Amino acid sequence: MIPIGFDKTVLMRVTAGDEALALEMVELLMNDLPRQREQILAASARGSRHELARLAHSLAGGAAYCGALELKRRCLELENCLLGAHASEVGRPENEVLDEIERLLSTDADPQAR
């Protein structure tokens, strides 16, 4: 069963209907989220807007591919804020990315059990 927070339609399209592969992809993303969260926090602490934008872009791509559409949306908002005219307003979108990561991680860690 595809876990909450992931769009089954996207996953089935990407995996040509292979639910086992879809679950594996979700598991890979979930296993990587703690590392990505730490990288975002570290880049933010260093004030490295370029690195933070790169991390948000990368995470948005992985989230899109796995059907984590809310995480994708929040990452793109952060990236656009960092690269656009609203770079001074990064705090809210950054916190929203971190909150969405936490929300996904707070679900059962085993995608097979969801």
Question: What tens digit of pLDDT does each residue of 27-76 get?
Answer: 999 999 999 999 999 999 998 999 999 999 999 999 999 999 999 999 99
Token pair in block for residue 102 = 């936490």
State the pLDDT at residue 46.
Answer: 94
Predicted confidence at residue 107, as pLDDT, reads: 81
What's the pLDDT band for 111 if we cut at 50, 70, 90? very low
Please tell me the pTM assigned to this model. 0.88
Structural domains of the chain ordered from first start: 8-104 (1.20.120)
- The answer to whether residue 7 scores a pLDDT higher than 90 is yes
Burial per residue of 2-38, b for 16 or more beta-carbon CB atoms within 10 angstroms, e otherwise:
bbebbbeebbbebbeeeeeebbebbbebbeebeebbe
